[in-house]
Structure 1
């Protein structure tokens, strides 16, 4: 039976937490959306349901998340983890608070924690304030995120604006003293009527202590970093068996390609690096996408000519600067602008598959979701790590096996694409 059930609000976030669970000894399967029929979870210790709920209306996000919860409970999950981005991507209208409170209500949990910290990826929490690579969230590139701009680093205030209950804080001065003190602080907050608690964490040992403190909690929430502290609870209870995620993982034969939709600073730098080292590259013009199919056809034709041109896979990107994204959204509206780009990447993914591509590298959560949907991938097996939060994965089910490196826009070093491609060649 499944021990841990995870609900992730986007596809790359799901892969991110699945990787951390696998790294710490839990056999993990990732499911694309809530299955409409029974699926074989292959004896997985943890199951991660990848939704596409981060930027949709809060009411729809709640409905999707509750459906995922029902599926995970039916699979026998003993503990539920609501996973969102380590930069707490959301808005004052949701979706983290509304979803978290809906899950609380369904599971009858009067208090639960929220800890998006992921020190290995440069995300830390101190006094309830989120830092990205040592800078306040509000001073990082995330302040200009095209869908969820984050301009308030005080997560107690951010979550309070989204929630009906009272939000409190477990500060680092408590966290650093260990799991017993953390558990005591949570219990004290419960008696004070607090229902949601932001929990500070600066280093991985903080996350392990937090994980031990909440071993008996039915519901947790946070970024993927918190997942490193959970497997040991099940191992301590004698419920885990040894598991090697790399053994037996191989890459399907066939060509490779890169599709990039994220507009994050990290992805822009990765594209620049890829072009510098010789990856064939083509940029999509979003304004031309809005005028018909000619722009996508241009990219399809270009791909058809270049798959075998060099030893490096071709790269097609819709990535643009914050100002360019803003202009496009002003012209066509945020939702339509995003839909146009996603549909373009879906068409490109299907075209590439038809050309024999079986190794896909994808940048951006929304883009990754579009590609997985276009390829009809129902489940993913988690493989070797490329960068913190980003593994190679392999499809389970479907007509033909594909390998996918699904990268959150903000993750990975400048040479990410070169590294990912090199790994798949070994």
Structure 2
């Protein structure tokens, strides 16, 4: 069985690609960034390590990826640089680190994820049919995306050659795709392949399956996994006890997460909002936390309670201002907010015995893993594309969902809650 080492730039992306391998019959184990040194393949052939490198400085992102890849250079058959499906972050530094660490001169890049609306046509990236630069990510609060040409985005971050391969070049036959790949490998650097639909991913996987390094988003991993014999998978969810509850942490400010919270609230789910402007003064912070603890106790008999950060534009602007006045950068302020939300959730979970958690947002998911001391996890059954149920390696009764903020349908939180509470065992693959 092919051993694959994945270096993922954030925790929700790590879960995302772990799920792709799981769905293709290959159980995977995932280690969040604070526990990267503990990572090992164990009894799994697919190992995913979160480098938490999307929003750090490029040289630090390079170092983290390089060290992880070098550590497993003699153990893995294939290396995968898992990146944000809209190319946010230190793309060039992380791709370069992987090539430098493996000694490979070339890597194909496949960013398309059609099931979540990400497609690439003639090198231009789209989100649900809208150019990336015109999509919701144009005004991302931490990493605004003002360019749709993937070659331009990557070329600005690497000195290696970058080119794109249009679907028109390889649509006629698989043989033409093989020929194009060989031509691009001679040039070295990176070749970004168009993806219109899942059929394109399937065809690309057939040609790329033996490449030592692959870069991009998670979707192609499913098709790569399908080209290997399935492994036995008997991991299941522990049966729920009566009276189980779910706690949802929502730090994401994306329209998708906002719609999911609104739907949950409309169905009767209590939603408690953390006032982020209160977090940068110790006295006001403690008062705000106590307010939310009391509010939670009033709803402790509810099947699910949502803890969210304030999404009002004026509150977001004021939060950034207060952080800046204290010399705190925008990424650091976002982490501080996520840490506060995770800390509150941990206190409430300890008090109320909650062991089922839904987390919305990459930064919030990272904070959750740190605060709940999740050293490693097994990726379990899918809820919706790109999002699974995970189980802590240290605590088999701690089950959680780590969702990218921009993933999921309007009814996602309801689906995730039901999946956590049904406690059914998975069938063997």
Q: Which one of 266, 269, 279 corresponds to residue 259 of structure 2?
A: 269
Q: What residue is the counterpart of 2:272 in the other structure?
A: 282
2:238 to 243, 250, 262: 250
Aligned to 1:44: 44
Tell me which residue corresponds to 1:106: 101
Aligned to 1:372: 369
Residue in 1 that maps onto 2:298 = 305
Q: Which residue does the alignment assign to 1:386? A: 383
Within 5 Å, which residues of 2 pair with 1:334-345? Answer: 334-345=330-341
Aligned counterpart for 1:156 among listed residues 140, 148, 151: 151
Secondary structure at the aligned position of 2:249 is classed as: strand
**SS in structure 1 opposite 2:172?**
coil
- The aligned residue for residue 353 of structure 1 is 349
Q: How far 1:319 sits from its partner (Å)?
A: 4.5
Change (3 A) 1:416 1:13: same
Contact 1:137 1:152 (8 Å CA) reproduced:
yes
Are residues 34 and 294 of structure 1, via their aligned partners in 2, closer, same or farther at CA, if it must alter by over 3 Å?
Answer: closer
Q: What residue is the counterpart of 1:61 in the other structure?
A: 61
Q: 1:210 to 1:413 in 2, by over 3 A?
A: same
Structure 1 residues 36 and 189: alpha-carbon distance in aligned structure 2, compared to 1, 3 A threshold: closer
Q: CA deviation at 1:327?
A: 4.1
Instruction: Indicate conservation of the 8 Å contact 1:175/1:200, yes or no.
Output: no
Distance in 2 between the 1:324 and 1:176 partners? 49
SS of alignment partner, residue 73 of structure 1: coil
Alpha-carbon distance, 1:38 to partner: 5.4
Deviates more, 1:154-163 or 1:251-260: 251-260
Distance 1:349 1:2 in 2: 39
Is 1:220 the equivalent of 2:221? no
Distance of 2:200 and 2:128 partners within structure 1: 17
What secondary structure does 2:156 align onto? helix
- 1:318 and 2:309 correspond: yes
How many equivalent pairs are there? 411
Deviations 1:42-86 (A, max 9, x none): 410201112211111111111111222134335x21000000111
Cα displacement (A) at 1:384 = 1.6
Q: Provide the alpha-carbon RMSD of the alignment.
A: 2.0
Describe the superposition over 1:322-357 as per-residue Cα deviations: whole angstroms up to 9, x where unpaired.
564344324423134213202212211321331211
Answering whether residue 118 of structure 2 is matched by residue 129 of structure 1, we say: no
User: Which residue in the other structure is 2:14 paired with?
Assistant: 14
Hey, what does 2:91 align to over in structure 1?
A: 96
**Cα separation, 1, equivalents of 2:295 and 2:145:** 37
**Which of 397, 404, 422 is 1:401 aligned to?**
397
Match of 1:329 in 2: 320
Q: Give yes or no for contact 2:13–2:83 (8 Å, CA) kept in 1.
A: yes
1:280/1:242 CA distance change after superposition, 3 Å: same
Pair 128,315 (structure 1): closer, same or farther in 2 beyond 3 Å: same
Q: Which residue of 1 aligns with 2:76?
A: 77
**What CA deviation, in whole Å up to 9, does each residue of 1:255-297 have, x standing for no partner?**
3101000001101111111111111111111111122232223
Partner SS state of residue 332, structure 1: helix
Assess if the C-alpha contact under 8 Å between 2:245 and 2:421 holds in 1: no
Give the direction of change, closer, same or farther, for the CA distance of 1:40–1:84 in structure 2 (3 Å limit).
closer
1:138 match: 133
Range 274-283 or range 59-68, more displaced = 59-68
Instruction: Go from structure 1 to structure 2 and tell me whether the alpha carbon gap of 1:409 and 1:319 turns closer, same or farther (over 3 Å shift).
Output: farther
Which secondary structure does the structure 1 equivalent of 2:247 belong to?
A: strand
Contact map agreement 1:395 1:402 (CA 8 A) in 2? yes
State the distance in 2 between where 1:268 and 1:39 align: 34
Gaps of 5+ in 2: 325-329, 423-429
Note the residue ranges of structure 1 that are not aligned, 5 or more in a row.
none
Matches of 2:33 and 2:236, distance apart in 1: 26
The separation in 1 between residues aligned to 2:118 and 2:5, in whole angstroms, is 24
Q: 1:287 to 1:35 in 2, by over 3 A?
A: closer
SS at match of 1:425: helix
> 1:295 is matched with which residue: 277, 281, 288?
288
| Alignment pair present for 1:202 and 2:196 | yes
- In structure 2, C-alpha distance between the alignment counterparts of 1:251 and 1:55, rounded to whole Å: 38
Please give the secondary structure, in 1, of the residue aligned with 2:5. Answer: strand
